Structure 1
Amino acid sequence: MSPTPCPSSSVRSAADVNDDIRELWQRSGGQLSPEDEEEYQRLLVEWAAATGGSARSAV
């Protein structure tokens, strides 16, 4: 068995990830801490995977 789980089995819907992104922004009051920024970047990548797109970091 492969040590890496199949990504398709762990992909949440884009709507679920979007809810988490909205909650993060609401919880942070619009000012992301470094920890929140890490979570936000992770959520963007997860959202892109759920929508079939790609996420890029802000420049």
Structure 2
Amino acid sequence: MTNAVVLGLEGKTDLWLVDFDAGTVAPVEHTSDFRKSGKPMIKGIDLAVAINSAPDVGSGFMDK
């Protein structure tokens, strides 16, 4: 199984490649028309939560 995902936030046009093995996040320069349908695509993801900031996760905010 690949340990990478492409992420895009609602209201933003850019996409990002997150490589968990390398510990990197990089912009995706060539995007396709996946987002035009307006439907979320979740393949191989079992949890995804949008947060306002990384400190929210570290502070235990997500444990509630």
TM over 0.5: no
Of Structure 1 and Structure 2, the greater strand share is in 2
Of Structure 1 and Structure 2, the greater helix share is in 1
- Higher RCO (C-alpha 8 Å, min separation 6): 1
TM bracket, shorter-chain basis: under 0.3
